[in-house]
């Protein structure tokens, strides 16, 4: 007598999802529509971006011990900036609405300026918030003075993190 193992009610792949390609088409279409809304939203800002030097690149600040992926370094209104792109379904016309995003822009600028891979320095930042609705994006420009203020806050935060992290490690041993 030979025994056969079978699992009942276990549908094969085609039975589990009769139309996976149709579902993928719908998802791709929705993503494409959303991407078009973001482009529409940021169009007026993109027109003022020139001389792109960096796109989606890793930057490292070895002295402070952090890395990140900078979205863009380019001229905005003829001023070299670190550009960070964000998306939102809600308006963010004021920096207060942007949470920690300004610190992120400045962290990228600091890392880029310290990273020997990049042969230029950046002292301005631009935070662009594009909207799912296609409404015009908000652009928040950071002057060198603004960048310095955010940089001091960022460095204090990094130092606090390292102090806390060092204390956590001392408790382990």
List the catalytic residues: 71, 84, 86
Q: Are 106 and 148 in contact (CB under 8 A)?
A: no
Residues linked to residue 79 through DSSP beta bridges, in sequence order: 76
The DSSP annotation for 139-160 comes to EEEE-HHHHHHHHHHHHHHHHH
Q: Are 80 and 124 in contact (CB under 8 A)?
A: yes
State how far the Cα of 99 lies from the Cα of 92, in Å rounded to an integer: 10
Instruction: Look up tokens 């409404």; give the residue.
Output: 135
């Amino acid at each position: 007598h030979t025994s056969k193992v079978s699992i009942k009610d276990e549908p094969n792949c085609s039975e589990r999802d009769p139309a996976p390609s149709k579902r993928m088409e719908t998802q791709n279409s929705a993503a494409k529509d959303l991407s078009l809304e973001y482009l529409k939203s940021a169009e007026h800002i993109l027109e003022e971006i020139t001389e792109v030097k960096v796109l989606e690149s890793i930057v490292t600040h070895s002295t402070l011990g952090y890395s990140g992926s900078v979205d863009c370094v380019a001229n905005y209104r003829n001023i070299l900036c670190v550009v960070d792109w964000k998306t939102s379904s809600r308006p963010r016309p004021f920096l207060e609405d942007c949470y920690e995003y300004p610190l992120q822009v400045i962290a990228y600028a600091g890392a880029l300026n310290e990273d020997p891979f990049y042969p230029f320095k950046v002292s301005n930042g631009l935070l662009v918030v594009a909207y799912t609705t296609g409404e015009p994006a908000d652009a928040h420009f950071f002057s060198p003075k603004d960048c310095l203020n955010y940089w001091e806050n960022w460095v204090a935060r990094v130092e606090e993190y390292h102090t806390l992290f060092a204390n956590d490690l001392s408790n382990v041993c």
